[in-house]
Amino acid sequence: MPTCLETESQEMRISPLITALFFSACALAPLGAQDVEDVFSRVQGSVVTLRVASRSPIPLPDGRVGSDQGLGSGVLFTEEGDILTASHVVQTADVVAVEFPNGMVRRAEIISSDPVADVARVRLVEAIPEGFHPAPLGNSDDVRVGSQVLVVGAPFGVGHTLSVGHVSARRLTLSGKATLREVEYFQTDAAIYPGNSGGPMFNLDGEIVGIVSHLVRAPGVTSGGLGFAVTSNVVRQLVVEGRAFWSGVDDVIVQGALSEALNIPDGKTGFLIQRVAVGSPCEALGLQGGSLRAEIEGEAYLIGGDILLGVMGIPVELDRTREIQELLRGMNSGDELEMVVLRAGKVVGLTGVLNLPGSAR
């Protein structure tokens, strides 16, 4: 028969095993409501609403052309007042206003924007209101499919709305603008609505692991859908450690039958300029957007503006668009930028000295 001392010794020997099993079970357990509340309370002060305005014309569904006013979400991530958001929220904005949770509004300027990845960085031109602090930028490589995430934003303009879900998949997709560039996204089942664009996706440590980009729905469906967020490591590469050139331009690739319809010389490829933001580098260069709405093969376009044919001697061709992007990414204030456009049927050269806003570093 074992003594009391031997019994105690046996209990002590099995205790580490029990402890390990206990903590393993805790690690697998889903986060409770109280835990979600705690994470939200830590991060909500970093989430902002972006209200943008543009005097550039946009084609309206009824055939008219109007001006643009919109909103999106964003997240403060540096003490200097830098905010991450989606490129499509601010790319052609003339004015960017940042609204904090207490209703205070601060002006911001666009520092960098990558329309292909749909991520942008803006910076406050006024001080951060007291009581608000940035959220840390996390490592999206640490996020696993099935991880619980929080999305905070302003769906339909209703600020600081929380939705909770999981990372449903990691998607490496070929994004638009005919660049054939791969961009990594998180697919999520967390609810995403118009106005959430540019808002942060947080992990359970309150770190930013994604920036909400878009929602995909089946044709004719008006609810539900698949939500996607650009991963934080892509964001870091393009607009935090890197410097995506903000052109202030919304454009459409022109090739094939559309190229012929617009009388591009020799049927070459070009970018049909839709809108140009006031105060942007390309507006200062003299680039002109469209003003007439036209429907071609079921798609609405603004025509009458410039068609970009070349940048710094590089022709606009499908296999050279990345080369152009990298060249622009490396340009600084004071550098001379040259473009060639088709304007009113004539090939015109545009030259100007860049005056880039802020610094993306």
Q: Which helix (H) or strand (E) holds 233?
A: helix 232-235
Pick from 315, 319, 310, 357: which is nearest to 338 by CA? Answer: 310
Quick check: is 118 catalytic?
yes
The one catalytic residue in 197, 232, 259, 280 is 197
The one catalytic residue in 46, 54, 73, 88 is 88
Tokens encoding 155: 């769906």
The 3 state secondary structure assigned to 85-152 is ECHHHHCCCCEEEEECCCCCEEEEEEEEEECCCCEEEEEECCCCCCCCCCCCECCHHHCCCCCEEEEE
Quick check: is 54 catalytic?
no
Quick check: is 197 catalytic?
yes
Rounded CA-CA distance 119/126 in Å is: 22
Rounded CA-CA distance 157/50 in Å is: 9
- Is residue 357 within 8 Å of 246, Cβ to Cβ? yes
The one catalytic residue in 82, 118, 250, 306 is 118
Neighbours of 320 (CB within 10 A): 14
Rounded CA-CA distance 191/224 in Å is: 8
Chain Cα centroid distance, residue 268: 30
Active-site residues, by number, are 88, 118, 197
